[in-house]
Structure 1
Amino acid sequence: MKRIFLIGYMGAGKTTLGKAFSKIKGLEFIDLDWYIESRFHKTIPQLFSERGEDGFRELEKRMLHEVADFEDVVISTGGGTPCHFDNMDYMNKQGETVLLEAKPEVLFNRLKISKNQRPLLAHKSDEDLMNAIKEGMTSRAVFYSKAMFRFPSDELESKEQIADSVQKLSELLNI
């Protein structure tokens, strides 16, 4: 039975790498945000707006506990998931946790494209976005540092880079 949790800041490549890795390894892939959206038939921004951050984080915790019971699965968490309640300790007990680490400049380029779909980043200028990334990474470091493994995720821009990263992640996790 395998249970792998991918954590990291928004845009670190959790979904990109998680989908590719799970496909190659024959594991189920769950993006926690997508799972929440499908369960509640609402987008994350809608849920965030309706419930506020605290209400959303409570819902996210419940859904994390639900998917953490699945077996042979790769779970891509939201960037803030490890930072609330006892989520990080819980994931470490339930399976293996991998922190995907990307440089702020890489995150900026990825997030700039999709910032309007992300409630915490919508309507930020480029300068504010870069500052938010740096501040967010700093404030989340204490939680992210509890991950069992660290994995560089700057190079996930091409099929070749993704395939190479899948191979390296397989070696890191000995799978």
Structure 2
Amino acid sequence: MMKIFLIGFMGCGKSTMGKKLAQKLGYTFVDLDHEIEKNLGSTIGAYFAGHGEDAFRKLESETLKTFDYPANVVIATGGGAPCFFDNMDWMNENGLSIYIEMSPAALAKRLESGKDKRPLLKDLTEAQMIEFIEKKLNERNVFYQRALLKVNGINLTADAMRAAVLSWQ
């Protein structure tokens, strides 16, 4: 039984790479944010707006820890999930956590085209977005760096991720 938790900032490729990695390993893929939205019957953004960040982070942590995961699974977590409660400890105790690292400038470039769908980014200029990402990464890095594996997200391939996972086992 193997759980692989992908962590990192929004736009680093957790969902995209997670699907590809799961396919390469013959595992199931789970996007934790999508599961939360399915259970809520609404978007995370709407829940966040109506109930606040604290309520969302509790729901996110509960979902992370109580979800009925398949035996072998790759899980894309939300960007903030590792940073609250004991989520990072829980992931490391229950599977392999992998941090997909990227620079603020590279993340901003990836996020630019879809920033309208991201409430925290939609009104920011490119420079403001880089500044926002730098600030958030500085806050979150203490958690992200606790991942059992770290990979560079630039030009990352599913084959490279698979090799990293197999070398860890």
Give the match for residue 161 of structure 2: 169
Q: Deviations over 1:103-124 (max 9, x none)?
A: 2221001111122222332322
4+ runs of 1 displaced by more than 6 Å? none
Contact 1:5 1:95 in 2 (8 A): yes
Cα distance in structure 1, aligned partners of 2:121 and 2:85: 22
One-letter code aligned to 1:118: R
Pick which of 100-109 and 78-87 moved more.
100-109
Unaligned runs of 5+ in 2: none
Q: Decide whether aligned partners of structure 1 residues 136 and 68 sit closer, same or farther in structure 2, where only a CA change above 3 A counts.
A: farther
Contact 1:68 1:91 in 2 (8 A): no
Cα distance in structure 2, aligned partners of 1:118 and 1:77: 16
Q: Percent identity among equivalent residues?
A: 39
Report the Cα offset of residue 76 of structure 1.
Answer: 0.3
Cα distance in structure 1, aligned partners of 2:122 and 2:105: 18
Cα distance in structure 2, aligned partners of 1:68 and 1:99: 23
- Structural mapping, 1:27-66, within 5 Å: 27-66=27-66
Q: What is the number of equivalent residue pairs in this alignment?
A: 167
Report the Cα offset of residue 21 of structure 1.
Answer: 0.8
Partner SS, residue 15 of structure 2: helix
Cα distance in structure 1, aligned partners of 2:68 and 2:116: 29
Partner SS, residue 155 of structure 1: coil
Q: Decide whether aligned partners of structure 1 residues 40 and 155 sit closer, same or farther in structure 2, where only a CA change above 3 A counts.
A: same
TM-score normalised according to structure 2 size: 0.93
Partner SS, residue 173 of structure 1: helix
Contact 1:68 1:94 in 2 (8 A): no
Partner SS, residue 154 of structure 2: coil
